[in-house]
Every structure is written in C-alpha cells, then in structure tokens.
Amino acid sequence: MLDEKKLLSVISGQKMVQPPIWFMRQAGRYLPEYREVREQAGSFWNLCFTPELACEVTLQPLRRFAFDAAIIFSDILIVPHALGQKVDFLPDHGPKLEVIDSALVQQSWQAKSYLDKFRPTLEALKLVKQQLAPEKALIGFSGAPWTLATYMLNARKAHQFEPILKLLLTQKEEVSRLITLLSDVVADYLILQLKSGADVVKIFDSWAGVVPQIDRQELILKPLAEIVSKVRNTYPNAPIIYFGREISDFYPEIIKKIPDLTLAFDQYVKPEEIRDKFQSHIAVQGNLDPEILLQGGEKLERATRELIKILRDGPYIFNLGHGILPQTPIAHVEQVIRMVKEV
C-alpha cells in the first residue's frame, strides 16, 4: 500500500505520475509573510530559537502552495553554535564565525552539553508536527561534517576555502579529528529530530565539491556512512536524503557504500544522467536551476516539463538544484507547482 505521504512513498522506491514537490529554502525572504515574522523576531537566531516563530515560518509555504513537505526552519550553523563557537548573521554579509576554540568544542562534545542547544529546534518540530496535514511530510536536516568544518575552520572567511585546504596539507589530523567529532554530533542531532517528529532527515553538503578527490573517501564518504549507520541503529528505516553539491561523479561510490540513501542533485547534472546512472538504484531529487525559476516564462516551463518527462518513470522528487533565491517571484513558484500537479 502506498504511504499516505507522497514523499515517503517515493523515497521507499515507488514511482508516481505526479511526483512530490518541495523546495530547498521554501521558507524564506521571497515570501512577504516570512519577512514580517523575521522583522518581528529581531534577529535571525531569535527566529530560529523561538519555537513558535520557527514553526510559523515553516508552515507558511504550505499555506500558500501545494508543497508535499515542510522542512523545519533552522540553519546548518546551529551545530557549531551548539558546540560553543560564536556565530553571527550580519546584514548583507552572511554568517560570521569567531575563530574556533578547539578546547571548548572538544569539552562540549565530550560532555554532550551541546544537546541542550538543539532544544528550540526540536520543540519547533513538535509544534509543526501537531499542525501539519497528515499527508504532508516533515523534513529535518543538518549540515554534513565537511561543510560544517569549512565554516568552523574558515571562521570569518565564509565561502573562501583557502584556510581549510591549507590545513588539509599542514594539519590533516586536526581536520580529520574535527570531522569525526562532527559526525557524532550530526548523528545525535538527526536522531533527536526524528524523535521529535521529522519523517525524513536531509544532510546538506553544500561545499562537498571543494574536497580534493584524493580525500573524498575520508572526508565525505566515511563520515556520511557513520552518520547513516548511527541514525539507523536507532531508527532502522529512517528516510535520509543526501545533497552533495558538485560531486555527482562521486555518487556511484556513495551508492556502493550506502545503497539506501535518496540522493539530491544540483542543477549542473543533466536529467538524462540522473535517470540513466542512478534512478534504477535509488530515489532521486532535483534539480531545477533556481536561476531559471527566477526568470520564469517559457524557459521555466520548458525546464519543468523536461525534468518531469525524463524522470517521472522512476522514483522522483521534484525540487531545485539549490535553494530558492530571495528575489524569486511568487507567481513563478505557483507556475511550477501547477505544472507538476497537472501531470
């Protein structure tokens, strides 16, 4: 029997004429109601750490659009924050992290004192679960160890990767130790999210493409396998989605080691490649270009129809290749959802 939640049915390997649809960053600045709550919160962290407000912005997209899933409103940098590293979000700058205090992080990890810092997000999950329609899935998430480490070790230089790449050459053991620590923390966090009501958890590895190929086994595959193993020791059938940006050429290795993952694809992978190389083995998610969603018009219509035509004969979740852009018109989101639902 099909699961009443379309997203879970597809993750379990079933194909659907109308694929489930949700968008990365579907709760965000492109929605006027989000901007209103964000202003009310006063700061990004206040929004994340006030369960009632986080619940509200999580549910906003589902009130406006026929999405098949809600993703809890939070941020991947909650993990370094929980470990004691100061994280600020500055206007027109993005995240700013203080230089890491490795002793503080180690102490927090050993004492498991970071678990309490996750409580507001877990409370928000419970609130969303209470209000979410039964046919809608609830997604929890975390950053992957490598992506989290890039922020933690690059400190104030977000999106600049020279510091961590230099450390790989000069202090690789330190980087590996942090990756191992983060694997444990991320597994704990995902287990707690499943316990709090998440139906699915997703692991975001946005900076996986930065990892040198020679280090992919150690820095991407090994920690991912450890996280999945620990989560499924507690929840054996937990649906897990992995998004490794710009490493689709490494996905076959991931499938060999962890065959029951759902893989999400960025916009740089051709849908024919997704179908031919992956869809017979796993459920897939993706990969409409957010820039095309922003542009709208005939180009958006063609891209949407092409994705559905190529991928709908296997287990497929319609999504973007990365997060929705803040300036995206609401009408374009409505257009895509309407096309998916009218298949």
What does the pLDDT look like over 224-235, one tens digit per residue? Answer: 999 999 999 999
Alpha carbon distance 301, 335 (integer Å): 8
Fold assignment, 6-25+66-341: TIM Barrel (3.20.20)
Q: What is the pLDDT of residues 5-15, one digit of tens each?
A: 999 999 999 99
Note whether 188 and 131 are within 8 A (CB): no
Model confidence pLDDT, tens digit, residues 13-22: 999 989 999 9
Question: Which amino acid appears at position 64 of this protein?
Answer: R
Taking the whole predicted model, whether its pTM rises above 0.85 is answered as yes
pLDDT in tens, 174-208: 889 999 999 999 999 999 999 999 999 999 999 99
Indicate the average pLDDT of the chain: 93
pLDDT at 166: 87
Confidence label for 134 from pLDDT (cuts 50, 70 and 90):
very high
Cα 168 from Cα 53, distance rounded (Å): 40
Helix, strand, coil percent values for the chain (each to nearest 5): 55, 15, 35
The label of the residue with tokens 């989290």 reads 148
Taking the CB of residue 36, how many other CB atoms lie within 10 A of it?
13
- Break the chain into its structural domains and give their ranges: 6-25+66-341
